[in-house]
Structure 1
Amino acid sequence: MQRIYSSLGKSHDFYKKRNRKFTMSVLEVMTIQILFHLSGYREFKSFYLGYVQKFMKEYFPKTVSYNRMVELKKQSFMPLSIFLKSENLSDCTGISFVDKSTAI
């Protein structure tokens, strides 16, 4: 495939990955996640697209796309868990459940 492409006069590595840095810090992602849980929204997607990207631009000027935000949420899971535990914000109330749709 590369031989065909290079015969067209363009040399390009087909398997090259992007190494672009995301523009939101882990702390910003964690803050948005905490705001979501305090907001009363039922779905993270509607919260992020309808509230954060529209009305919180002054606090988060470099928001990323929703798909990238979902990836960043996965990366910020452990730091967020450690923060909540260290601040004693994760005490069990006796009722616990897991919602698979928010862990995507």
Structure 2
Amino acid sequence: MSKLVELFCDVDDFAKVLFPQWRKQLLEDGTRKRQREGQMTTSEIMTIVVSFHMSHYRDFKNYSLGYVSLVYKNESPNLLSYTQFIEVMPRVIVPMCAYFTSLKGKPS
């Protein structure tokens, strides 16, 4: 469980730096947009996705239903169901790419 906390802290620290810079660079079309987070923060969603890829599970559905819903329920009271999680996953594609790029070292 301590690795999960370390992973979340790392992702959350990265998100706190990325999102203000990202929002400054977004183009606006003049319409008002909702700025409200969902039930789970982007950092929590990214943490679950990264921990899935670090796990031994082969598909996300079994990971979500068999592991996340049992183990993370106490840690994250606003945990989404599998279907809801699949709907919000596209929202974290760009932050995930930026996070993984930041972890990558310089080529030698």
Place the TM-score, normalised by the shorter chain, in its bin: 0.5 to 0.7
Does the residue aligned with 1:76 lie in a helix, a strand or coil?
Answer: helix
User: Higher RCO, 1 or 2 (CA under 8 Å, sep at least 6)?
Assistant: 2
State the distance in 2 between where 1:21 and 1:65 align.
Answer: 17
* Aligned with residue 54 of structure 1, among 70, 76, 87: 70
- Return the offset for 1:87: 1.5
Percent identity over the alignment is: 34
State the distance in 2 between where 1:74 and 1:29 align.
Answer: 10
- State the TM-score, normalizing by the size of structure 2: 0.59
- Which residue does 1:82 correspond to in 2? 98
- Which residue does 1:23 correspond to in 2? 39
Structure 2 gaps, min length 5: 1-35
Aligned-pair Cα RMSD in Å: 2.0
- State the TM-score, normalizing by the size of structure 1: 0.62
Moved over 3 A (4+): none
Aligned residues: 71
Structure 1 gaps, min length 5: 1-19, 92-104
